[in-house]
Structure 1
Amino acid sequence: MNDIIEALDASVRSVCGKYDEANRRNGWNPALWSALESIGVTTLSVPEECGGSGGDVATAVAVLEVLGEHAAAVPYAETALLAGRLLSGCGVQVPAGPLASIVVGTELQVLPTSGGVHVSGIARRVPWARAAEHLVVLVEDRVILLRRGEGLIAEGANLAGEPRDDVAFDCAVPDERVHWLRGESARVVREQALRTTLARAALIAGAARRALELTVTYAGEREQFGRPIGKFQAVQQHLAAMAGEVVLTKIAVEAAAVAVDEDNGAEVAVMAAKTVAGQAAGLVASLAHQIHGALGYTEEHPLRHSTTRLWAWRDEGGNEAACSAVLEQHVLAAGKGGLWPLISGHVSVPTKESL
């Protein structure tokens, strides 16, 4: 962790600590969002010329880890990594306030009109749609900026209670809110998918760390047979297994963020990170609840807010099976002698035939 990320980590952690209780009560925490805006992190990976703070993906991922740890009820990934990236990719200013992003699918139609476009249809399970001031829609080589009131929202939620809303559109959008991408649209779509996957892996890294901390504390306080349960070898083995998964996930996520920034083996790194994070989510949640017993499942206990997010985020952005399938394709495409360069990114090991 460099000095900038360390200072940013401390600042975000301090802000989040003031709103932990509100995160547990509500599906959306506008007070925390305002506090994050005040310290300038909500558009961290957006270039300064587009109204952002000019940070890189690795820095934004460091913030996401802290937000995941605190179960922060804010659309940070959707604003900083996804919607903000789409708008800045068109060279336009990113508006203030929380954002949500939509990649047009078969149920959403965008047709040209004399003064702009007409958007109709339904976007399913849009993260944080009800909280967003603007909805940023990617369709082919255009990015369309919609106001929240231009869509009819049917509220939904994931397993952790985070907003995953259906939004029905039937509205005209003027030309000034229709922007053209500067890059190849297919590449932008792939980048959006990778950033979504990386964001969920980073959030898992934070939530897993929080689950471990809560479990270590509980194991040191809960007594059985006259001593803390953390003194029993079986519990110690569980804690050690959890700690190993937490560290591995953090390393994989941060390596993937660097790969995205450097555009060097990004897909392999991100898919590997999400696979590791998904496996860690299952093990950490299982062992945390095993050590806590029934207490950890109650509405009032903070562990539930971490583990339900681990389960929800594990399936979002591609689960282990989906990410592993992508990795398999890369391994097969690398062919004989290509596995090590694929893993290392740049180091080649001589084969027997080349000696």
Structure 2
Amino acid sequence: MSDNSGVERPGGRSRRGVLKAAVAGAGAVAAVGAGASAAHADTRRRGAPVFVLVHGSGSNSYGWSPVLRELGLRGHRAIAVDLPGHGPGAYFPLGYQAPQDLERLATEPSPIGAVTLADFTAHVVEAVRAAHRNGPVVLVGQSLGGVTLNAVANQVPELISHLVYASAFCPTRHRSVLELMTTPEAASSALFRIPGFKTPPELGVNRVNWRSADPVFYAEVKDALAADWSDAQVRALLNILEPDESAAIGAADARGLPDRWGRVPRTYLRFGEDRAVPPALQDLMIREADETTPRNRFHVRSLAAPHVGPQDPAVWADELERVARTCA
């Protein structure tokens, strides 16, 4: 298979196919099981860390709700951002609605096709500036959200006390998510097995039909994101995900710059049961980041979790509290 330029990619995968696999469904945080819908957890302890949480592909701030609730109950301050084109600003194609019109869905434009990594970065930088007025900022990103962490830290390293990558993409030697997903370490990613939903390249979107009735699609999505979850939990998760992500995000140069991003202490939450971003790929990103800034290496915490992360929000909060103690 080749991309629109006719260039063959490793393993017979096209550039467009690899990019879709890299971002399609790779952004959900465990949002099932806590029964919370809070978007903001707050206390008034000036000087205590403020957590700023960034979602991944096709997700939104709601995905962080269980974690926000747990942090709030423990007395921490935290906000979860909706990246441009997500959350209240998300566009749901008419062909995606019930009853679905798959022919229309294949060609219907989406505003998010014009959104760039620079847009994501500017949005999160604004949130970080606001949070920094109240205390040290711990910036957390899951999955595709990691590229936004890199870009924000490149711009305002002085405003960030710690970066936390939760099985998240962290390009340093490889320029983009797309390049990382063509490495041998990514070859086993279950994302490549998810039946794709083809759209014209000019739409600029990677589209996933989370409402598909195809049992093969459902089985592959569950295996990629949350193999150990119940069917009820997985279906609840799919119903909060958004169908479109900007194709520009995975293709953008998101390398962390040694003299900017490389100044910020960082932690990698390594998910050992992740089948979307395999442990081998996580290890590659950790190793390359450490080689880029050998005097500021990742603190690595390994968790027995699938791509969406631990089901228990207390596990998330425990890990973030460990980071917070380093910022005190």
Higher relative contact order (CA 8 A, sep 6+): 2
More helix by share: 1
Q: Do both proteins adopt the same fold according to a TM-score greater than 0.5, normalized to the shorter chain? A: no
What TM-score comes out, normalization by structure 2 length?
Answer: 0.27
Q: TM-score, normalised by structure 1?
A: 0.25
